Amino acid sequence: MIDLEALKSRLANYDPAAPKCPLQIARFVNYAPDHITSLDAEYHDYDETTYVPCCRLEGHEGECQNGRQVMGWPDFETVSQLIAEVERLRERDDNFCDDFRRVTSEACAPDELHCSCVPHLRAQVAELQALGVSLHKAADAGAQAERAAVVAWLRDCALDPETTGAEMRLFQNQATTIERGEHRKEKE
């Protein structure tokens, strides 16, 4: 698992809004020509001191620095958003686990990672799958009963004394077609 706290502390150096160390780092350089050596009296006339700001955070430990590793891509904002998203997901996972424990009345030890909920979730999924199968069977039974009622009605219409021979054959053919399930168009 990613150590978010360590990642956030390393990332803090790249935050442009964070207060930086106010100290300056002195750099000494001598630009004396090659023919003037350090033993010559005018050698130190070519000394130059420049000051560069420290790039570390205010109150840092250790020496001041002017350079740091290049962050590259992803940039500070992207990494910060990713960390925030991971924290939100972990919090949501914790809240879900707490809610699940409350609903199932199962007491999980606080030091357990969410593994204790997995067996409960699997059991609930199995129950839901079994319920789905029974609902599917009930729907099939209802559809078969409705189909039988339609077939019976068509056969009654065919036996009606006022039905002509052509109508009777039509009702009989439709009843047979529905009874066999041929009235449904199958997707090819």
Element at 136 (helix H, strand E): helix 117-159
Written as one string, the DSSP assignment of 80-96 is: HHHHHHHHHHHHHHHHH
For residue 35, the model assigns a pLDDT of 92
Does 26 fall in a domain? yes
Residues whose CB is less than 8 angstroms from the CB of residue 52 and which lie 6 or more positions away in sequence, other chains included: 24, 25, 27, 66
Does 92 fall in a domain? no
For residue 11, the model assigns a pLDDT of 79
Number of folded domains that form the chain: 2
Does 6 fall in a domain? no
- Domain holding 30, by residue range, is 12-71
Instruction: Count the neighbouring beta carbons within 10 Å of the beta carbon of residue 56.
Output: 20
DSSP conformation class of 28: E
Does 37 fall in a domain? yes
For residue 79, the model assigns a pLDDT of 80
Does 59 fall in a domain? yes
* Tokens describing residue 179: 């009874």
For residue 47, the model assigns a pLDDT of 93
Does 83 fall in a domain? no
Instruction: Count the neighbouring beta carbons within 10 Å of the beta carbon of residue 154.
Output: 19
Mean pLDDT by 10 residues, the chain (188 residues): 76 82 91 91 93 87 81 74 81 66 53 55 70 69 80 85 84 85 63
Q: What SS3 state is found at 53?
A: strand
Does 23 fall in a domain? yes
